[in-house]
Amino acid sequence: LMQLSVPLNFIGFIYREIRQGLTDIEQMFALLDVKQEVVDQPQARPLAVSHGAVEFRDVHFSYDPARPILKGVSFEVPAGKTIAIVGPSGAGKSTISRLLFRFYDIQSGSVLIDGQDIRDVTQESLRAAIGMVPQDTVLFNDTIAYNIRYGRTDASDEEVKKAAELAQIGAFIDRLPDGYKAMVGERGLKLSGGEKQRVAIARTILKAPPILMLDEATSALDTHTEQEIQAALDLVSRGRTTIVIAHRLSTVIGADEIIVLKDGRIAERGTHLALLRKEGLYASMWARQREASEAEERLRIARESD
């Protein structure tokens, strides 16, 4: 029995270490099977965030040398502002979020936060400065309170509750028979995509990072859910430098700048109105999206009147 219990303890230890070491974002990338190829430089310093300005300067990147993904991408997100990245599938939008976290090193150019090249800082301090609301949040098989508190493990019950309310999931939790003690995840209550995203927003509210990276769900949400999520996102991004991989019109309308990525290059950039006036790629993307959502709406009304 002794012989068996040692390795079991050891596995338990490793498991706890891994679980503690994971941040919400790392979970996601771990699931995407990202290799750990990036290492801290021997002289790496902690990132010193003064305002939280982000800059991509002529970034060239490929996962595989034969196939360039980003071909000279430059943009700035001034402190506290929001930029939305849009573009066709495969354009390289999620790649930009992976590079900001430095899950890969770029081939040339630089990624800077408050003027510091992210290759010169420790990965731990870099990832601590960025909050991520992924498309599909992974929930632990634990209570909903545990899942929210994950954003900052020393948060009090009161703070967890407040974050849930701000993230527009508080009323939903209050209606559960076990409230904040309700078990969620694979072996508990299954949450919808929109509910999971609000749990991720609540986590991020607790973490209170200076920089925020949002990856909107591509799946259609009903109008009410979309409005609730939008309200929660507006709140969490207020005063924070925010980069959104945007799929919804409601998000891009409010962005300070929209970047239209196509084949690894910035094809168009500007505000929503300026881009609509341009009648280019962006304008046609939204015309298509509007037609699709109007068709859906007509279908819904037809179904309701049946």
CB of 224 vs ligand ATP, minimal distance in Å:
25
Cα distances (angstroms) measured from residue 69 to each of 92, 110, 188, 275: 6, 15, 40, 24
Helix axes 223-237, 193-207, angle to 10 degrees: 10
Q: Which is nearer to ligand ATP, 162 or 262 (CB)?
A: 262
- Report if residue 89 touches ligand ATP, rule: CB under 6 A: yes
Return the residue of 28, 49, 77, 92 that touches ligand ATP, per CB under 6 A: 92
Return the residue of 12, 46, 90, 239 that touches ligand ATP, per CB under 6 A: 90
Using CB under 6 A, which of the segments 93-101, 140-148, 274-282, 288-296 binds ligand ATP? 93-101
Single out the residue of 48, 58, 57, 59 nearest to residue 114, CA to CA: 48
Among residue numbers 6 through 65, which ones bind ligand ATP (CB under 6 A)?
63-64
Q: Which is nearer to ligand ATP, 43 or 89 (CB)?
A: 89
Using CB under 6 A, which of the segments 82-90, 113-121, 137-145, 150-158 binds ligand ATP? 82-90
Residues paired with 241 in a beta bridge: 211
- Report if residue 95 touches ligand ATP, rule: CB under 6 A: yes
CB of 84 vs ligand ATP, minimal distance in Å:
13
φ, ψ of residue 130 to 5 degrees: the values are: -120, 130
Alpha-carbon gap, residue 296 to 215, rounded angstroms: 23
- Report if residue 288 touches ligand ATP, rule: CB under 6 A: no
Q: Residues with Cβ < 8 Å from 278, sequence gap 6 or more?
A: 268, 270
Interacting residues with ligand ATP (CB under 6 A) = 63-64, 69, 87, 89-95
